[in-house]
Amino acid sequence: MSKILIDLTVAIPTYNGAKRLPLVLEKLHEQVDTENIAWEIIIVDNNSTDETARIVRDYQANWQKPFPLKYCLETEQGAAFARKKAVKEAQGNLIGFLDDDTLPAPNWVAAAYKFAREHPQAGAYGSQVHGDYEVEPPANFDRIASFFAITERGDKPHLYEPSLKMLPPSAGLVVRKQAWCENVPEQPFLSGRSGKSILNSEDLEVVMYIQNAGWEVWYNSEMEIYHQIKRDRLTREYLLYLMRSTGLARHHIRMLRLKPWQRPLFFPLGLAKDLQKAIAYFLKNRNLLEKDVVAACEMEFLRSSVISPFYLWRISLKI
């Protein structure tokens, strides 16, 4: 019997996602216009301590769809390791990543496959990501919404030009397996937030390697997902933590945009620019930092960006 070729793998890394996964799977169960697409779903359990494995087994036992539902375990903690495991296990030429709290629109799979066929030079392309909030977010939340992968850049696809220094998040991201395997290092520097690391932006690191290799990176407005944001992620404490974890990784992301010989030259310029921004923001908004959570978040991101190269240097000495 000949082996069925898979066009698209939908990979869902999850950590303790037993309560969140069912709704994501239901949305994938309801995908439309996929009759001519060979696709599969892989749940990557990132060492969960809840009932994630049992939940997936229960779904597998009753799965009636022609596209398979698979499960694999990644014991190394961190989103980067879970995504790397997904790439290794994926049978598809395309790999679409969903988080366990992101719900795809009914045509997401079809739109992802269609875009790849129309843009053969696209090594990665992101979705239009909307926020679905359990409670009303703070005033002026739109200024920091991108830190939650919210990506609403209009109704037309567009190319992420390297000079604009903007890239899509991992939520709703589709990559060509070839582009990943040929260009993303086996051992990433950023692993994602876990018990061992506070650092964020591991998704941007992957996309930057793909873009730096000459592949195009796109925003595909026809792929829409909805990021469910629970109330505990809108607290001041969590928001500041998110800003800190992203800001502390900024130096590494910035350096990836440069050639090795450029990095020693641009490092002091980038540091000076970050320091100038942080001081100017503090002087302008210092009276708002206690009562305005968004202003406090912006200040924390700028502060962490200044600290970033020294923090990363200290981390590298421990590795």
pLDDT tens, position by position, 77-112: 899 999 999 999 999 999 999 999 999 999 999 999
The Cα-based distances of 124 to 89, 106, 142, 275 in angstroms read 18, 21, 25, 33
Instruction: Give the tokens for residue 177.
Output: 């397996």
pLDDT at 197: 78
**Total tally of structural domains belonging to the chain:** 2
253 lies in some domain? yes
139 lies in some domain? yes
pLDDT at 196: 73
| 92-97 vs 174-176, strand pairing mode | antiparallel
On whether both 205 and 116 belong to a single domain, the answer is yes
1 lies in some domain? no
- Whether the CB-CB separation of 43 and 70 falls below 8 Å is answered with yes
215 lies in some domain? yes
- Whether the CB-CB separation of 285 and 299 falls below 8 Å is answered with yes
Cα–Cα distance measured from residue 101 to residue 284, given in angstroms and rounded to the nearest whole number = 36
Between 45-54, 196-205, 291-300, the lowest mean confidence (pLDDT) is in 196-205
Q: How far apart are the first and last CA of the chain?
A: 48
Which of 232, 251, 280 is a domain's end point?
232
Question: Percent of the chain, pLDDT > 90?
Answer: 89
Which of 197, 232, 267 is a domain's end point?
232
Confidence of residue 1 (pLDDT cuts 50, 70, 90): very low
pLDDT at 194: 74
Q: Mean pLDDT across the stretch 185-202?
A: 84
On whether both 166 and 222 belong to a single domain, the answer is yes
pLDDT at 3: 52
On whether both 255 and 139 belong to a single domain, the answer is no
281 lies in some domain? yes
On whether both 179 and 66 belong to a single domain, the answer is yes
pLDDT at 139: 93
Asked whether residue 311 carries a pLDDT value surpassing 50, the answer given is yes
CATH number (domain holding residue 38): 3.90.550.10
Asked whether residue 120 carries a pLDDT value surpassing 80, the answer given is yes
Which of 213, 232, 251 is a domain's end point?
232
On whether both 222 and 247 belong to a single domain, the answer is no
On whether both 200 and 305 belong to a single domain, the answer is no
pTM of the model: 0.93
On whether both 13 and 95 belong to a single domain, the answer is yes
On whether both 199 and 257 belong to a single domain, the answer is no
Confidence of residue 315 (pLDDT cuts 50, 70, 90): confident
Give me the chain's average pLDDT, please: 94
Confidence of residue 2 (pLDDT cuts 50, 70, 90): very low
pLDDT at 198: 83
The parent domain of residue 250 ranges over 240-318
Q: Mean pLDDT across the stretch 126-153?
A: 97
Q: Mean pLDDT across the stretch 141-157?
A: 96
Q: Which amino acid is at 268?
A: P
- Whether the CB-CB separation of 239 and 144 falls below 8 Å is answered with yes
pLDDT at 318: 62
Asked whether residue 75 carries a pLDDT value surpassing 50, the answer given is yes
Q: Mean pLDDT across the stretch 209-229?
A: 97
On whether both 290 and 204 belong to a single domain, the answer is no
